[in-house]
Amino acid sequence: MDSKEIVIKICDLNPHVVCSLCAGYFVDATTITECLHTFCKSCIVKYFQTSKNCPMCNLQIHETQPLFNLRLDRTMQDIVAKVVPGILEAEETRRREFYESRGMAVIKPSQDENENEKPALENVVKRDYSEYRNLYRDDEQVSLCVERYDESNMEDNEEEIENSRTTETVGTLSKKYLRCSARMMVVQLLKLLRMKLNIPEEKEVEIVCNEHVIHPFRTMKFIWISEWLNRAPPMVLHYRVYGAS
């Protein structure tokens, strides 16, 4: 029997990935452990300020502290990111605008996200992050394997044919496995590579996943979902260095 491709309409999935409180797709999906109903984190926290019952089944969650029975549902959030194209980028933009409107420091991406153009990274790479040392302590963690790009295994494709630049020989990391926040950006990994491998500022460094060059302002979470496709950890990233153009 021939296998047939199954097409599912997004409207059929909406009841499972839409928050009943705000009627939008889950953002920071959070599940009540007592009844397993899921909502946006901000929606359910705000709702529990005036009620101690589940908004869907009316089950009493806790007599005094309903927030104790909430858990982030990262599996559900990953599902939403897969079935709703662009939701991750849209949410990152909204959060960035939220922090900027309140005068809070954020890592500001370039206005043009075109991967063929070089963003201005100097202000980000040279910034002092000591005040944010414990900012990511409670974040979701991602396991990485960071290796030097092997040109001998390069597949012939249009991207590589167009890219006629010659890579330079560079060393390997003494410890290629690391664990980091899912919110960490590629630009921060580039800074680590420059420091560990003594790569001069005039040389260009790229991160590659699945033969795709990753934009410096993509997060590890974004790469995990869009390029690594939720395969088993660690997520393998390769780095390559080009001489000054």
User: How far does CA 166 lie from the centroid of its chain?
Assistant: 30
Cα separation, 104 vs 228, in Å, equals: 32
Question: In the prediction, which pLDDT does 113 show?
Answer: 43
Say which range, 38-47, 80-89, 163-172, has the weakest mean pLDDT.
163-172
C-alpha closest to that of 16 among 43, 34, 42, 36:
36
Cα separation, 201 vs 214, in Å, equals: 19
- Give the pLDDT band of residue 92 (cuts 50, 70, 90): confident
Say which range, 64-68, 79-83, 116-120, 146-150, has the weakest mean pLDDT.
116-120
Q: Would the pLDDT of 124 be above 80?
A: no
Cα separation, 214 vs 232, in Å, equals: 20
Q: Mean per-residue pLDDT for 215-232?
A: 89
User: Does the model's pTM come out above 0.85?
Assistant: no
Question: In the prediction, which pLDDT does 26 show?
Answer: 92
| Spatial contact of 112 and 120, defined as CB atoms under 8 Å apart | no
Higher pLDDT: 185 or 244? It is: 185
Question: In the prediction, which pLDDT does 58 show?
Answer: 93
Q: What is the DSSP letter of 196?
A: H
Q: Which residues in the chain belong to E strands, given as ranges?
A: 29-32, 38-40, 70-72, 141-148, 167-168, 177-181, 204-209, 212-213, 235-242
Element (DSSP H or E) covering residue 193: helix 186-197
Tens digits of residue pLDDT in 17-72: 999 999 999 988 999 999 999 999 999 999 999 999 999 999 999 888 888 889 98
Q: What percentage of residues in the chain have a pLDDT greater than 70?
A: 78
Cα separation, 181 vs 184, in Å, equals: 5
Query: And the tokens for 214?
Result: 């990753």
Instruction: Spell out the residues 6+ positions from residue 30 whose beta carbon is closer than 8 angstroms to its own.
Output: 38, 39, 40, 41, 44, 45, 70, 71, 72, 73
182 strand-pairing partners: none
Q: Mean per-residue pLDDT for 5-26?
A: 88
Residue type present at position 106: V
179 strand-pairing partners: 143
Please report how many Cα atoms fall inside a 13 Å half-sphere around the Cα of residue 209, on the Cβ side. 25
